[in-house]
A = this chain, B = another copy of it.
Amino acid sequence: MNTKTMLKTAEAEVRELVERWLEAVRVKDIDGIMSHYTADVLTFDIAPPLEYRGIDTYRKNWEGWLPTFRGPVGYEIRDLGITASDDIAFSHSLNHISGTRTDGEETDVWVRVTVCYRKVDGKWRIIHEHISVPFYMDGSDRAAIDLKP
């Protein structure tokens, strides 16, 4: 393969990871989700703390979050941009999370997502993830959970 073909393949491989991750999130398959992360993944998530270091604490976070949805998790990935070299890659997108929670609340929020990947033993894995919403600097310091792309 020439370099161009190789990078195209790397991008396609990362895109496939994202699609498998997305499917696992929707059906709340915790093992499927976690299979895409390295053991030392560093995550900047929507809610505190500032950071999660390592897959064990991050898994607990997922285990707490997924059951708060009554049915499947509504999850859409928009404007996915992937940049890949042969062994590292990153992506950015706007993700839409929606669904009815067990307490009856309707969730409908757009978040910004940046993900960094590394190819480990021939398999792409997520080594860093950053998920957020901005906040209003109008004195309220309220999270901007009402924005739409």
Contacts and interface: CB of A to CB of B under 8 A. Distances in A.
Given A142-B143, A143-B143, A130 B127 contact: no
A112 B134 CA distance: 12
A137 interface: yes
A110 B142 contact: no
B83 A46 contact: no
A132 B42 contact: no
A104 to B, nearest CB: 14
Contacts of A88: 83-85, 88-90
Interface residues of A, number: 42
Copies of this chain, how many? Answer: 2
Interface string A58-102: 000000000000000000000001011111111010100000000
Given A90-B128, A92-B128, A116-B114, A136 B48 contact: yes
Contacts of A125: none
Interface of A: 42, 44-51, 81, 83-90, 92, 94, 110, 112, 114, 116, 118, 127-128, 130, 132-137, 141-145, 147-149
16 contacts: A47-B134, A47-B137, A48-B136, A50-B94, A50-B133, A50-B134, A50-B148, A51-B112, A51-B149, A83-B118, A85-B85, A112-B130, A130-B130, A141-B145, A142-B142, A143-B143
